[in-house]
Amino acid sequence: MSSKSLLVASLALALSPCATRAATPAAAGSVAPLPEIVVTAARMAQTVDASLADVSVITRAEISASGAPDLIDLLRREAGVDVARTGGPGSQTSVFMRGTNSNQVLVLVDGVRVASANTGSFAWEQLPLDAIQRIEIVRGPRAAQWGADAIGGVIQIFTRKLDGPHLAMRGGSYGDYGGSAGYGQWGDHGGASVIVGARHVLGFPATNPQNYAYSPQPDGYSNQNLAAQGAWRIGTQTLSGSVLRSDANVDFNQGASQVIEQAAGVNLDGALTPTLRQHISLGYDREDLDTPAYQSLALSRRQQAGYQLDWTFLPGQQLLGGVDWMHERGISRDTSTNTDVYAQSRNNLGVYAGWYGQAQRWNWQLAARHDRNSLFGGVTTGSAAAGYTLNDWARVEASFGQGFDSPSFSDQFSPPYFGYYAGNPDLRPERSHSSEIDLLLHPLDDLHVKLAAYRTRVNDLISFAGVNNQAINIDRAKMDGLELTSTWTAGAWTTRFSSSFDDARDASTGARLLRRPLRKADLGLDRRFGERFSAGVELFAASNSIDYGNVTLGGYSLINAHFDWKLAHGLAVHVFLQNLADRDYSLAYGYNTPGRSGWLTLSWNGAD
């Protein structure tokens, strides 16, 4: 038997229906059967195959067919991505990528940075799923392209683009009801789209008796949101704009918080000559977090602007260069006295360049960037990657990249608490370097497999370990991991599999980093029944993890299912069933997770 036949037989056995990952008709985050165009990895349009990065895409079709109530249920399936939620919908949620901290993942909405300048983290729980068109997930450092915060990777959210009328209604467990409505129209010269949505959840108790603040009362959640975009073609240029706004109320034991998230951007993009293309961008991000029970108001504002040129100077050879400017302002206010605990601002100027080329079986990428920040000085980062096609069904890629994470305003300027835990304005950025090697196989047209191995080291981590526990740069962390993803389609059946081994530890003590399981896997099977109906089952499993106080959170497994039924005239029914075995598990010590539950969505898209 030839080596290729042996490999096909081995993979067929490994991916047989007894060991597969259920997902949507094209599973969220899976390796696509055909190359997709992505823009996040290199800041320009490339196919996934040419990006030389570990990239996955969640499309609108996958989001709709899943029937999932929110984004967290989709992200947790991704290889190398872990989530930790402190309760039900609307509760604070952390997203860890390849073992890095939640504030070491760069989050973009239509190209606009959206993390809070106060905490450095993004409020994932406030993203309305109906307002999302597409999600691109890039694993590994991208500082040479995007600058600060992209140590673990980049996740970019693209807002929804409707073409025709849209209506959707959803109802489910824990008094979870909501819907969305919108309209869009597009033509050769551009168009516009707008969608509004709302969600109201009675909820369940976020805490359990293990939590010192335990309350048996359910913690509710409500959200109103809007997403709009428009574009107009002017000669060879396209002027476009988008806005995403979420206004939410989140209940907790002591009261409620009002959270406003808003991201808006304007872009001008197009060809200047047959070989030269420009991209001009303006962006604005806002976060308001008002918690009357704590007499606290946190305000974050960010303005950004950028200019980029792409030059195709030879066939298969591209040069890219640009400049980014950003102004951030953070305010922490005591509402009982209406005085500012701190009010700070900073500017950042970044200059970057990249070379992307291919020749015969090789392709490569080189990128470098220098950032100059008004508070902590300058940082230079670089990256390099190369890929070699072994034959018509196997390819190997290798990469190296540096990253850094800016200290947040809270880290720098928070006042001491009874003389302890003060911020430190002299903090330096956290620095990292990562290396990765990937093996990509597609021995059959409908069988795609990717194995990735990575190694990351982070230095100058911020820790409250100085005099009187002041914030200082002292900690180090190390992350080593393996990821395996695959998809196989055979007739009406689609099998999918993703798994991760992410060993994230304190480099000084060897202790595991918090709320990150060492291993996880997602297995499933999906079946189409004609052109209109599909169904799938999913098995998700994660090993134990460590939480504060050296508490061990037990490993767990979930059985989920979905049904997608396309009726006539654009009507569709989507069903998502979660935790069918009603397993009791915890993502954070002292906090509850959903039991057996389900959601039903009825949608109508007039253009279908």
Alpha-carbon separation of residue 438 from 30, 143, 510 (angstroms): 16, 20, 27
Q: What is the pLDDT of residue 6?
A: 33
CB 576 within 8 A of CB 560: yes
Average confidence (pLDDT) over 583-591:
97
> Does the pLDDT value for residue 401 go beyond 60?
yes
Alpha-carbon separation of residue 432 from 81, 105, 455, 456, 573 (angstroms): 18, 13, 10, 7, 46
Q: Does domain 3-605 have CATH number 2.30.30.280?
A: no
Residues 170, 175, 176, 181: what is their CA dihedral angle, to the nearest 10 degrees? 50
Q: What is the pLDDT of residue 606?
A: 87
Q: What is the pLDDT of residue 25?
A: 36
DSSP 34: S
CB 70 within 8 A of CB 503: no
Q: What is the pLDDT of residue 445?
A: 82
Cite the beta strand spans of 491-583 per DSSP E: 493-506, 519-529, 533-542, 545-547, 551-553, 556-566, 571-578
> Does the pLDDT value for residue 391 go beyond 60?
yes
Burial degree of 286 (CB within 10 A; 0-12, 13-18, 19+) = middle
Q: What is the pLDDT of residue 395?
A: 96
Q: What is the pLDDT of residue 48?
A: 86
Q: Is the dihedral of CA 565, 571, 577, 578 positive or negative?
A: positive
pLDDT category at 15 given cuts 50, 70, 90 is: very low
pLDDT category at 21 given cuts 50, 70, 90 is: very low
> Does the pLDDT value for residue 344 go beyond 90?
yes
pLDDT category at 185 given cuts 50, 70, 90 is: very high
Q: What is the Cα–Cα distance from 431 to 428, expressed in whole angstroms?
A: 9
pTM beyond cutoff 0.85: yes
Range in 14-23, 189-198, 422-431 with the lowest mean pLDDT: 14-23
Look over the chain and give the mean of its residue pLDDT values, rounded to a whole number: 93
Q: What is the pLDDT of residue 35?
A: 64
Q: Any idea where the domains of the chain sit in the sequence?
A: 3-605
Token pair 């907790």 is found at 252
Average confidence (pLDDT) over 415-420:
92
Q: What is the Cα–Cα distance from 149 to 324, expressed in whole angstroms?
A: 15
Amino acid making up residue 564: D
Q: What is the pLDDT of residue 14?
A: 35
> Does the pLDDT value for residue 4 go beyond 60?
no
What b/e readout covers 16-35, taking b as 16+ CB neighbours within 10 angstroms?
eeeebbbbbbbbbbbbbbee
Q: What percent of the chain has pLDDT over 70?
A: 94
CB 205 within 8 A of CB 216: yes
Q: What is the pLDDT of residue 501?
A: 97
Tokens found for residue 434: 């990562």
Average confidence (pLDDT) over 265-278:
97
pLDDT category at 11 given cuts 50, 70, 90 is: very low
Q: What is the Cα–Cα distance from 252 to 135, expressed in whole angstroms?
A: 30
Average confidence (pLDDT) over 258-275:
98
Pairing of strands 430-444, 394-405: antiparallel
Pairing of strands 190-201, 221-234: antiparallel
| Other Cβ atoms within 10 Å of 44 Cβ, number | 18
DSSP 52: -
Amino acid making up residue 462: I
| Other Cβ atoms within 10 Å of 460 Cβ, number | 19
Q: What is the Cα–Cα distance from 33 to 495, expressed in whole angstroms?
A: 12
Q: What is the pLDDT of residue 321?
A: 98
> Does the pLDDT value for residue 190 go beyond 70?
yes
pLDDT category at 90 given cuts 50, 70, 90 is: very high
Alpha-carbon separation of residue 386 from 70, 106, 358, 397, 550 (angstroms): 36, 23, 9, 6, 41
Tokens found for residue 106: 């760069």
Residues 456, 457, 462, 466: what is their CA dihedral angle, to the nearest 10 degrees? 150
